[in-house]
Amino acid sequence: MIILGIETSCDETAVALVSDKPTDMLDVGQGNSSCILAHRVFTQLEEHEAFGGVVPEVAARAHLQLLGPLLKQTLKDAQLTLADIDGVAVTCGPGLIGGVMVGVMMGKSIAAVHNKPFLAINHLAGHGLVPRLSDELSFPYLLLLVSGGHSQIVVVKSALDFEVLGSTQDDAVGECFDKCAKMMGLPYPGGPNVEKAALKGDKKRFQLPRPLKGRTKDGMACQFSFSGLKSAVRREIEKLGDGFSPQDACDLSASLQLAVSDTLCDRLKNALKQCEDRSQKLTALVVSGGVAANAFLRNNIKVLAHEFELPFVAPPLNLCTDNGVMIAWAGVEKMQHGSVDGLDFKPRPRWPLNELSLKKL
Ligand code: KG4
Ligand code: ZN
């Protein structure tokens, strides 16, 4: 089975062709990703750099211009035509609706013209399932999903059954990194540049809060909150005023990264204990989403996994940030469940993970 994947929900235009069985066509560099026949990602850096963040209308227009040529190139890379594919998997939400609609219209057109099944993919399910492509991983596993728009702890029970244990009350962790980076004057995109600056910084210099750390009662054990941390970073920058130097930015980045890591690990520990308490056997602790590209966070979560005697799984960096492979792979898994969607499927700007549809072939 070969599935075409299309991703346009934020600022990455991405297309991929993924098979349900391993082939030796393309090695993405790390992990066992030999099901990937071809994949292309265009990151809209120049388009949004001047604004210091993603502008939805600019992103949608760029997706419209880029998607056709990218699709053509990806098919050429794999030496396939649209007649060779067995289904079209498209991000139908959650995300910036203008961009999502561009991908959905393209996907539906291909499905209609070539008479192929249409697979409406939840972007978060894509992030959550791609570790099963890059690594040997069976259900159920505990997933920390950390991206620009989401921070969630989820028990993944099957490709269509996600139990959300906790999510953010305000900002997502990636959003916190991006906004703090902008305040510190670091280049766009924020997250990777905070990581880079932190390498040259003193993580103990600034005492930043660990939001909700230690809170285990009132249903708060697995929740996140990052807006207070962002405000604390702003106050430190204001205190330093005009004297805010490049070294201050490095020290503050390192301190911010440590505060985020402590917070994520505290919440994850509660989730792992919760699973133990209800005798939920887990196969692994998994981290995915754009922020999972951060090596400092990955290392600390790996230590936690070992504490709980669980294998630690994280996809290779290029499968952590938005890509078409994860959407195509979620399509493969959905097809394997015998679940497809109609061409009347409406794109959803908001689409919680516990509302995945199951429509049988
Ligand atoms: O999953 P993703 O590519 O897009 C969304 O679905 O949101 O995640 C993008 C987020 C951005 O906030 C970006 O700053 C963050 O992931 N990010 C990082 C790193 N690489 C990307 N954050 C921290 N460290 C990184 N190395
Ligand atoms: Zn994403």
Q: Is 74 left (phi over 0), alpha (psi -120 to 50) or beta?
A: alpha
Ligand 1 lined by 151 (C-beta under 6 Å): no
Tell if the pTM clears 0.75, that is, is over it: yes
Per-residue pLDDT at 359 exceeds 60: no
Per-residue pLDDT at 31 exceeds 70: no
**Pocket-testing residue among 177, 199, 320, ligand 1, by greatest number of atoms within 8 A of Cβ:** 177
Closest ligand 1 atom, residue 190 Cα: 14
Decide if 289 contacts 278 (C-beta within 8 A).
Answer: no
For residue 310, give the nearest of 155, 164, 159 by alpha carbon: 155
pLDDT of residue 361: 47
Per-residue pLDDT at 29 exceeds 50: no
Ligand 1 lined by 322 (C-beta under 6 Å): yes
Helix and strand numbers, DSSP H then E, in the chain: 12, 10
- How many residues are given for the chain? 361
Any idea which ligand is nearest the CA of 293? 1
Residue 30: pLDDT band (50, 70, 90) is very low
Element (H, E) at 16: strand 12-19
3-state percent helix, strand, coil for the chain, nearest multiple of 5? 45, 20, 35
User: In terms of DSSP bridges, do strands 285-288 and 312-313 run parallel, antiparallel, or are they unpaired?
Assistant: parallel
Residue 360: pLDDT band (50, 70, 90) is very low
Instruction: Give the pLDDT confidence of 111-163 residue by residue, as tens digits.
Output: 999 999 999 999 999 999 999 999 999 999 999 999 999 999 999 999 999 99
Per-residue pLDDT at 300 exceeds 60: yes
Q: What is the mean pLDDT of residues 33-60?
A: 90
Work out the percent of the chain whose per-residue pLDDT is above 70: 96
pLDDT of residue 358: 56
d(CA 255, CA 268): 20
φ, ψ of residue 18 to 5 degrees: the values are -130, 140
A 10 A CB-CB count for 64 gives: 18
Residue environment code for 151-186, b if the CB has 16+ CB neighbours within 10 A, otherwise e: bbbbbbeebbebebbbbbeebbbbbbbbbbbbbbeb
Ligand 1 lined by 148 (C-beta under 6 Å): yes
Name beta bridge partners: 38: 17
Per-residue pLDDT at 334 exceeds 90: yes
For atom 20 of ligand 1, the residue with the nearest CA is 192
What are the CA-CA distances from residue 75 to residues 9, 71, 330 (Å)? 21, 6, 19
**Pocket-testing residue among 144, 146, 147, 256, ligand 1, by greatest number of atoms within 8 A of Cβ:** 147
